Amino acid sequence: REGRGGESICGEDSGGQEPAKPTMDELVRSTAPLFRAIIHFIGVVGPLYAQVAILLYNVGRLLPWNLLQAVLGFGICFFGGGYCASIAAVEAFTLTGWVTTRAALMDVYEEALIVYAANEQDDKKDDDRNGISDVNEIKDSKQLVQRKIRVAAAAVRDPQKLATAVGGLWSGWLAVQGVLRIQFARTCALAVSIANSLEYWVLKLILPVVTPLVPAEFRHWVPTIIMTSTKGIVVFFAWYLQTIISAFQSAVRGGLMFSRGLLAHLNATGHKSFFGVSLEVDHTYLDEVFGYAVAAIGFYFQWSYGFGMPFPLNIIMFPFDIIEWYIRWSISSGDTSAAI
């Protein structure tokens, strides 16, 4: 790679020989243990999250709407800043065809349950009856991946329905990306601008130092890794600034949702006043006073924990943190292909 004025950034002569790139077979073999661990983790944790989601959904259906609004407002007030992109994505999905998206999600979820059950059955198979499951006897990682793909493909009942559902979700996600890029245009522009400005100088300073330390067959990855790391740091910085702004906004919004939902619930249950003070939203400033007080506490709480979740909620919410950063990265990228 050449920098400004035609100077070489790498500062190294490869001797005219292009380093050998790892083959797909080697890549599959090297990453198979990681994928096995990920699949096992999802298989263990996934059903737990599904049960919790179903429980929360059933509880939400039982709560009166005003009380549910208060609960949601409390959550947004104390935790909304760290999940600003996810909240915006949910709102965008509701505006860009939630009925279709929900149907597609249910189709994918139903097929995923079937595939999960088939995978569980496959893990228990012991055809040679030696007391060791067949999958644990497979030493070839490539063969294990192929076996699991065959199990999943055979378990899917309606491939066309699944393909249509996945395609619908992807189309909806692309539409949501467009909405989010407009909503967070300033953050995206800041991240891209800083990354483009720093890219040349970071490569010029770091590449000559790092390249000799990397084995020859992997040196062609060094510029990409450096540029991706630089962009990741810049995106993190830009989104941290956005998180502070969103935390304040979510605290105010959530605090008012909490106070007004609570007062509306009290009104609906016949409580119109308290020691001569009106509790009706249209005839009192109590909702603003109480809402802004809760908002101040909520923003301070978010600030105290670095706009993240306190322990042990940070462990429970870790998958949602991954989703949040995926959304941030995808809408901060220059094109939609970066989101794949």
Burial class (CB in 10 A: 0-12, 13-18, 19+), 323: middle
Q: Where do we find the tokens 């208060």?
A: 70
For the chain, the average pLDDT equals 78
Q: What is the pLDDT of residues 17-36, one digit of tens each?
A: 545 555 555 665 666 666 66
What is the torsion angle, in degrees rounded to the nearest 10, for the CA atoms of residue 166, residue 171, residue 175 and residue 180?
40
Cis peptide before 47 (omega within 30 of 0): no
- Name, in order, each residue with C-beta under 8 angstroms of 68's C-beta and a sequence gap of 6 or more: 60, 261
276-319 pLDDT per residue, tens: 677 777 777 787 888 899 999 999 999 998 888 888 888 888 88
Please state the domain extents for the chain.
63-89+184-340, 96-183
Stretch 199-205: mean pLDDT: 86
* pLDDT 10s digits, 88-138: 888 888 777 677 777 777 888 788 878 878 877 877 777 777 777 767 766
Strand stretches in the chain, DSSP E: 273-274, 277-278
pLDDT of 308 reads 83
Q: Mean per-residue pLDDT for 267-274?
A: 76
**Distance between CA 99 and CA 105 in Å, rounded?**
10
Please give the Cα distance from 251 to 152 (Å, whole number): 44
What is the residue whose two structure tokens read 């999905």? 93
Distance set, CA 171 to CA 96, 165, 216, 221 (Å)? 10, 10, 41, 32
